[in-house]
Amino acid sequence: MQGTLGEAGAYPSTIGISKADGDAFVAAIAAGTPQTAEIFIELHSVTTYNVVAETLGGDHENVVHLGGHSDSVSEGPGINDNGSGSIGILEVALHLTKFRTNNAVRFSWWAAEEEGLLGAIAWVEAQPQAELDKIKVYLNFDMIASPNYVYAIYDGDGSAFNVTGPAGSAQAEHLFEDYFRNIAKVATVPSDFDGRSDYGPFLEAGVACGGLFTGAEGLKTAEEAVLFGGEAGMAYDVNYHGKGDDVKNCNGTAFEVNTKAIAHAVAVLGKSTAVLDAPLKRRGGVQARAKGVKPQRVGGKFTY
């Protein structure tokens, strides 16, 4: 089991056990058999690093910031979670060396996301407000190649999950919606800002946020199977936080489509971030919404 308590706080000592072990304890207690346990805790201090790179050219007072976490859980290789997002933004960064942008573009690979967003939190907290104000938008890419994927866009305008991001977040969502609808010509669904990835510290700091996601341990619905293919009632990633999260676990089509969407966002925003300040135009939402599919939050990184 791999879990986090969220941001730092005055928590009591907390551990987790598997559901099977928990069920055994509950059954024994219900049968009237007292249960005891001995807990041995080992504390390890580990030094890890964020990697942050920024274009030499472009307006450094007007930064387009992309990021994804570079760590994985100890139980698995972490190729979808989050090798996919890490490699996706690296691929875009490599191609960007052939071009000039009007605005500076920053790429970040965050450490210790799986331990509670520690790398991103540390970076954001270390920035003076004047530096955070230079970030026009932060775009997060965490798990963009799930085997039983959906194309999910963070719900910046709050129309699906009633949590609106800071000014510019709605426009970032619509920028991705337009790409998937008009260029990639595939359906999309919204994903909520539930704070489980590295955009969380940026949201709290008032920075506009957006990003893409293909699903984790949540179950694909029948409506999503119609939109995207795959198997309804199965997890978006059956190997989420598991040893099976290797290269074979990733869906190449989802990875390619999402990486091209990242490149499109960089091309548009690298030229001008005016779209982030433009009035919103209601266009009927994404294709899934037009079909009358209603989102529901049932735990996990994404449900619909």
Whether residue 1 has pLDDT greater than 90: no
pLDDT at 95 (0 to 100): 97
Q: How confident is the model at residue 288 (pLDDT cuts 50, 70, 90)?
A: very low
Sign of CA dihedral 271, 288, 90, 127: positive
Alpha-carbon separation of residue 134 from 103, 256, 276 (angstroms) = 11, 30, 14
Residue 3 phi, psi dihedral angles, 5° rounding: -140, 165
Instruction: Give the span between the Cα atoms of 42 and 302, in whole angstroms.
Output: 33
Whether residue 246 has pLDDT greater than 50: yes
Least confident of 73-77, 126-130, 208-212, 270-274: 73-77
Percent residues over pLDDT 70 in the chain = 90
Instruction: Give the span between the Cα atoms of 62 and 238, in whole angstroms.
Output: 40
Least confident of 28-42, 154-168, 249-263: 28-42
Known catalytic residues are: 113
Whether residue 55 has pLDDT greater than 90: yes
51-290 to CATH, choices 3.40.50.80, 3.40.630.10, 3.40.50.300, 3.40.50.12780: 3.40.630.10
Whether residue 132 has pLDDT greater than 60: yes
If you ran DSSP here, which 8-state letter would residue 147 be given? T
Whether residue 284 has pLDDT greater than 50: no
Cβ(123)–Cβ(65) below 8 Å: no
Cβ(171)–Cβ(275) below 8 Å: yes
Arithmetic mean of pLDDT over the chain: 90
pLDDT at 135 (0 to 100): 98
Compare 290 and 187 and report the one with higher pLDDT: 187
Tokens of 55: 């274009």
pLDDT at 10 (0 to 100): 83
pLDDT at 303 (0 to 100): 33
Cβ(49)–Cβ(123) below 8 Å: no
Q: What is the DSSP string of 13-81?
A: P-----HHHHHHHHHHHHTT------------------EEEE-SSSEEEEEEEEEEE----TTS--III
Give mean pLDDT, residues 112-140: 96
Q: pLDDT digits over 143-163, tens only? A: 999 999 999 999 999 999 998
Cβ(166)–Cβ(203) below 8 Å: yes
Q: What is the DSSP string of 238-262?
A: TTTTSTT-SGGGS-HHHHHHHHHHH
Whether residue 205 has pLDDT greater than 70: yes
Q: What does the H/E/C string look like for 171-218?
A: HHHHHHHHHHHHHHCCCCEEECCCCCCCHHHHHHCCCCEEEEECCCCC
Give mean pLDDT, residues 95-120: 96
